[in-house]
A and B are shown apart, each in its own frame.
Chain A
Amino acid sequence: MSHAIIIPKLGLTMEEATLVRWHIPAGQQVAKGATLYSIETDKISFDVEAEADGYVDQIVPEGDVVPVGALVGYLLERPDEASPCVSSVAEAAKVVVDNVPVPAASAAPPPMQATLGGNMGEGARRYISPLARRIAASNGIDTGALTGSGPNGVILKRDVERAMAARNAAGGPIGGDAPSSSVSRRPMTAMRRAISQRMQQSLNTTAQMTGFGKVDMTEMVQWRSELLEVMPTDAPRITYTDIVTKACAGVLREMPELNSYIDGDQIVTWNDINVGIAVAIDGGLLVPVIRNADRLSLLEIAAQRVALIDRARTGQITPADLEGGTFTISNFGSYGGDFETPILNTPQSALLGIGGITDEPAVRDKAIVIRAMMMLSLTYDHRLIDGAVAGRFRARLRALLEHPSVMLALLG
């Protein structure tokens, strides 16, 4: 009785995955529950466990990109069993039952939705063979730039291969005259490909503007150090990221214009305030999401942040942790940045960058004093959010961050 090994669907938007590694060699026995293979989607790596005992029959080799639901192998009852042949009626019936993929329990539907499309005119549709599409995607070839040589202009494998050959002959995308011995090439990881596509798509589809504002954090620094002294040692350590998250969530509740996005010719406003926190990890970046941040206490935000970052850095993050963000915070102060012009995490329309807190000379009551200053960098989609609105957002944020007692009174 063979058991089909099928690529699971791990999130609503997941369509394909790279089969990165078979942990059990072909022909070897595996026990139910053992890690059988690893897949990598555009956001996460995931270990898939064997759903049954059996001998591993691998159909798809390591490195192949396979769609959700694809059959990648079998768990065979005997090592010499022929995989798909069903030799009796009873077996045929069982295989049918066992082959039904078990859908992943999906979390609450994310408010985020794809914003691609809508910009392809009639007659602009391009036909491309499934094989050519797959080869192009895994080699970073833009099929939009190809001319199809197949019947009716269909783009075929040979067209993609021709484009790859031309690219290689030209010495790759950076500079045409670099001698080939002075560069090294490696394929992008799925995560790098996703980041690259999303960054490019973000800049291509929105009108981004970044405004800066300085915040006097002196009182907040004082308040936090007093708070940390009295907090129990096993409580999550409250960071400036948590404090800014809490403040942002409160201001977003007052100003839903920044918790919105443009979809075609409509403006969509999210009812929930889900704040994503950009987290640098080995080889890339993840943005785990703190859901309903406006309804959480500072301590709850800190606890969730600690858990999410831990999962992100140990590869335990799940697609549900990454979906549904409506606003993003990026703390580049943690690596020494003061101000930057961050790129929007589309379809979101606003992103706040936090710089480092440094002692600076400031003028107060006509005297020069030393204050703990922090720079805010707010990037917003200028199509939807006017400069005055963005300025008001920064001002409200500043009012809260400069006066912990006010923030406490208003946000709890």
Chain B
Amino acid sequence: MTMKNYCWALIDAINEEMARDPDVFLAGEDVAAAGGAFGGSRGLLAAHGPLRVRDTPISEEVIVGLGVGAAMTGKRPIVEIMFMDFFGLCMDQIVNQAAKMHYLYQGAFKMPMVIRTMTAVEMGIGPHHSQSLEAWVGHVPGLKVVMPSTPRDAKGLMKSAIRDDNPVVFIENLALHKIKEDIEDEEFLIPLGKADIKRAGRDVTVVATGLMVHKALAAAEILSQEGIEIEVIDPRTISPLDVDTIVASVRKTNRALVVTSAHKPFGLASEVAAQIMDHAFYDLDVPVARLTPPFTPQPFGKGFEAFLHPDKASIVAAVRELMA
């Protein structure tokens, strides 16, 4: 076992897959010479050379477009869009090209591409870098969407994403880059589409993603002292969503809370709530609750952002209300 942080776990994953498969390459803004805008590709240029680790111009549409073309011709590109907020510049390539090729050509083309991107939610860097826009891509059939919350999940899921023949949007969380975890030295994969029960409990199912997983786990400690045991489920992959694990938990607890950094309207929290209604309505003792930031743009300033977003205290309060 080796202690790794989230950022280095991801570098390890990409490094291992590039060494394993010569078709894997990495392209994006500042990924080569600079080792990544936030250090997320350090050492890869030296290890795999300039042909396979390439800096690109500042043109998001071109970055994803080159990935689509390369994937159609048999390569396994990892293309990086520095912040998910910039998806607006390359949505046509992601939604109309990458997600549709396999379908339009009746499976003649595969699309083994990873779109590596990031949210910097709650890092105090304003409305253009801090959005949680996973619903944009989770809404599109043909895309898989991954958003890990721990270093080990990040590594195992990145390796599976690279090996997957479908386009995978891989959403990192900058706020989690420095958290550390012991990771086994042997190779391992974590399958896409499989949720993880981060903490088992009997009273309330709390489904949380990204940063909110850690806040839910902190809330669980406080609630446990009151005799309330919450079960914290991290879907890890939001598309396809592991409805089975969530529903099985709700069947046990009869209560559910969904906590996300993304807004309520049309978001993951709403989708999870709807799935619970579809599959476990007669197991619900109280309505499913959603806890999210209010429907406003992301502000500058960490204090204001912290004020708007769910935290340990608001999760505790929401769970207590479900138990009332």
B141 & A134 in contact (Cβ 8 Å cutoff): no
Complex alpha-carbon distance, A393 and B279, angstroms: 53
B102 & A151 in contact (Cβ 8 Å cutoff): no
Interface assignment of B1: CB less than 8 Å from any CB of chain A? no
B254 & A157 in contact (Cβ 8 Å cutoff): yes
Q: Kindly supply a per-residue 1/0 record for chain B positions 180-195, scoring 1 wherever the CB is within 8 Å of any chain A CB and 0 otherwise.
A: 0000000000000110
Q: Kindly supply a per-residue 1/0 record for chain A positions 85-116, scoring 1 wherever the CB is within 8 Å of any chain B CB and 0 otherwise.
A: 11111101100000000000000000000000
Complex alpha-carbon distance, A87 and B193, angstroms: 9
Cβ-neighbour of B244 out of A83, A89, A129, A157 (below 8 A): A83
Query: In the assembled complex, how far is the CB of residue A101 from the closest CB belonging to chain B, in whole angstroms?
Result: 13
A131 & B166 in contact (Cβ 8 Å cutoff): no
Q: What are 8 A-B contacts defined by CB distance under 8 Å?
A: A66-B282, A84-B240, A86-B240, A89-B141, A90-B102, A93-B141, A130-B284, A157-B254
Cβ-neighbour of A131 out of B99, B107, B243, B254 (below 8 A): B254
Which residues of A have CB within 8 Å of B243? Answer: 84
Cβ-neighbour of A89 out of B103, B194, B242, B286 (below 8 A): B103
Query: In the assembled complex, how far is the CB of residue A162 from the closest CB belonging to chain B, in whole angstroms?
Result: 13
Query: In the assembled complex, how far is the CB of residue B319 from the closest CB belonging to chain A, in whole angstroms?
Result: 15
Interface assignment of B86: CB less than 8 Å from any CB of chain A? no
B324 & A84 in contact (Cβ 8 Å cutoff): no
Cβ-neighbour of B286 out of A67, A129, A133 (below 8 A): A129
Interface assignment of A63: CB less than 8 Å from any CB of chain B? no
Complex alpha-carbon distance, A95 and B112, angstroms: 23
A90 & B107 in contact (Cβ 8 Å cutoff): yes
Q: Smallest CB-CB separation from A151: which chain B residue?
A: B324
B interface, by DSSP: helix, strand, loop or mixed? Answer: loop
Query: In the assembled complex, how far is the CB of residue B88 from the closest CB belonging to chain A, in whole angstroms?
Result: 23
> Which residues on A are within 8 Å of B, measured CB to CB?
66-67, 71, 82-90, 92-93, 129-134, 150-151, 154, 156-157
Q: Smallest CB-CB separation from B321: which chain A residue?
A: A151
Query: In the assembled complex, how far is the CB of residue B158 from the closest CB belonging to chain A, in whole angstroms?
Result: 18
Interface assignment of B92: CB less than 8 Å from any CB of chain A? no
A131 & B282 in contact (Cβ 8 Å cutoff): yes
Q: Kindly supply a per-residue 1/0 record for chain B positions 197-212, scoring 1 wherever the CB is within 8 Å of any chain A CB and 0 otherwise.
A: 0000000000000000
Which residues of B have CB within 8 Å of A133? Answer: 282
Cβ-neighbour of A84 out of B103, B142, B166, B244 (below 8 A): B244
Which residues of B have CB within 8 Å of A87? Answer: 166, 193, 240
Query: In the assembled complex, how far is the CB of residue A273 from the closest CB belonging to chain B, in whole angstroms?
Result: 40
Which residues of B have CB within 8 Å of A86? Answer: 240
Complex alpha-carbon distance, A131 and B285, angstroms: 5
Nearest 8 pairs of A and B residues by beta carbon? A85-B193, A89-B142, A131-B285, A129-B285, A89-B103, A134-B282, A85-B240, A157-B285
B166 & A67 in contact (Cβ 8 Å cutoff): no
Which residues of B have CB within 8 Å of A150? Answer: 286, 324
A131 & B283 in contact (Cβ 8 Å cutoff): yes
**Most chain A CB neighbours (cut-off 10 Å) among B99, B242, B286, B324:** B286
Which residues of A have CB within 8 Å of B282? Answer: 66-67, 130-131, 133-134
Complex alpha-carbon distance, A143 and B255, angstroms: 21
Which residues of B have CB within 8 Å of A156? Answer: 285-286
B141 & A71 in contact (Cβ 8 Å cutoff): no
Complex alpha-carbon distance, A154 and B324, angstroms: 11
Complex alpha-carbon distance, A86 and B243, angstroms: 11
Interface assignment of B300: CB less than 8 Å from any CB of chain A? no
A interface, by DSSP: helix, strand, loop or mixed? Answer: mixed
Query: In the assembled complex, how far is the CB of residue B142 from the closest CB belonging to chain A, in whole angstroms?
Result: 4
A88 & B254 in contact (Cβ 8 Å cutoff): no
Per the 8 Å Cβ criterion, residues 204-260 of B in contact with A are 240, 242-244, 254
Complex alpha-carbon distance, A71 and B279, angstroms: 7
B285 & A92 in contact (Cβ 8 Å cutoff): no
Which residues of A have CB within 8 Å of B286? Answer: 129, 150, 154, 156
Query: In the assembled complex, how far is the CB of residue B99 from the closest CB belonging to chain A, in whole angstroms?
Result: 8
Q: Smallest CB-CB separation from B237: which chain A residue?
A: A85
Complex alpha-carbon distance, A86 and B141, angstroms: 10
Cβ-neighbour of A82 out of B102, B107, B244 (below 8 A): B244
Which residues of B have CB within 8 Å of A154? Answer: 286
Complex alpha-carbon distance, A117 and B142, angstroms: 48
Complex alpha-carbon distance, A86 and B166, angstroms: 12
Query: In the assembled complex, how far is the CB of residue A26 from the closest CB belonging to chain B, in whole angstroms?
Result: 14
Which residues of A have CB within 8 Å of B281? Answer: 130
Which residues of A have CB within 8 Å of B194? Answer: 82, 85
Complex alpha-carbon distance, A184 and B141, angstroms: 56
A88-B166, A89-B142, A90-B107 known; A82-B285 Cβ under 8 A: no
Q: Smallest CB-CB separation from A131: which chain B residue?
A: B285
B240 & A129 in contact (Cβ 8 Å cutoff): no
Per the 8 Å Cβ criterion, residues 138-172 of B in contact with A are 141-142, 166
Query: In the assembled complex, how far is the CB of residue A164 from the closest CB belonging to chain B, in whole angstroms?
Result: 15
B102 & A88 in contact (Cβ 8 Å cutoff): yes
Q: Smallest CB-CB separation from A65: which chain B residue?
A: B282
**Most chain A CB neighbours (cut-off 10 Å) among B99, B283, B285:** B285
**Most chain A CB neighbours (cut-off 10 Å) among B141, B193, B282:** B282
Per the 8 Å Cβ criterion, residues 101-124 of B in contact with A are 102-103, 107
A85 & B242 in contact (Cβ 8 Å cutoff): yes
Cβ-neighbour of B102 out of A66, A83, A85, A89 (below 8 A): A89
Which residues of B have CB within 8 Å of A83? Answer: 244
Q: Kindly supply a per-residue 1/0 record for chain B positions 273-314, scoring 1 wherever the CB is within 8 Å of any chain A CB and 0 otherwise.
A: 000000101111110000000000000000000000000000
Which residues of A have CB within 8 Å of B102? Answer: 88-90
Q: Smallest CB-CB separation from B324: which chain A residue?
A: A151
Which residues of A have CB within 8 Å of B141? Answer: 89, 92-93
Which residues of A have CB within 8 Å of B244? Answer: 82-84
Q: Smallest CB-CB separation from A157: which chain B residue?
A: B285
Which residues of A have CB within 8 Å of B242? Answer: 85
B193 & A129 in contact (Cβ 8 Å cutoff): no
Query: In the assembled complex, how far is the CB of residue A116 from the closest CB belonging to chain B, in whole angstroms?
Result: 21
Q: Smallest CB-CB separation from B102: which chain A residue?
A: A89
Complex alpha-carbon distance, A131 and B281, angstroms: 8
Which residues of B have CB within 8 Å of A157? Answer: 254, 285
Complex alpha-carbon distance, A156 and B323, angstroms: 11
Which residues of A have CB within 8 Å of B284? Answer: 129-131
Which residues of B have CB within 8 Å of A131? Answer: 254, 282-285
Query: In the assembled complex, how far is the CB of residue A154 from the closest CB belonging to chain B, in whole angstroms?
Result: 8
Query: In the assembled complex, how far is the CB of residue A336 from the closest CB belonging to chain B, in whole angstroms?
Result: 45
Known: A88-B102, A129-B285, A130-B284; 17 extra A-B contacts, CB below 8 A, are A82-B194, A84-B243, A85-B242, A86-B240, A87-B166, A87-B193, A88-B166, A89-B102, A89-B166, A130-B283, A131-B254, A131-B282, A132-B285, A133-B282, A134-B282, A157-B254, A157-B285
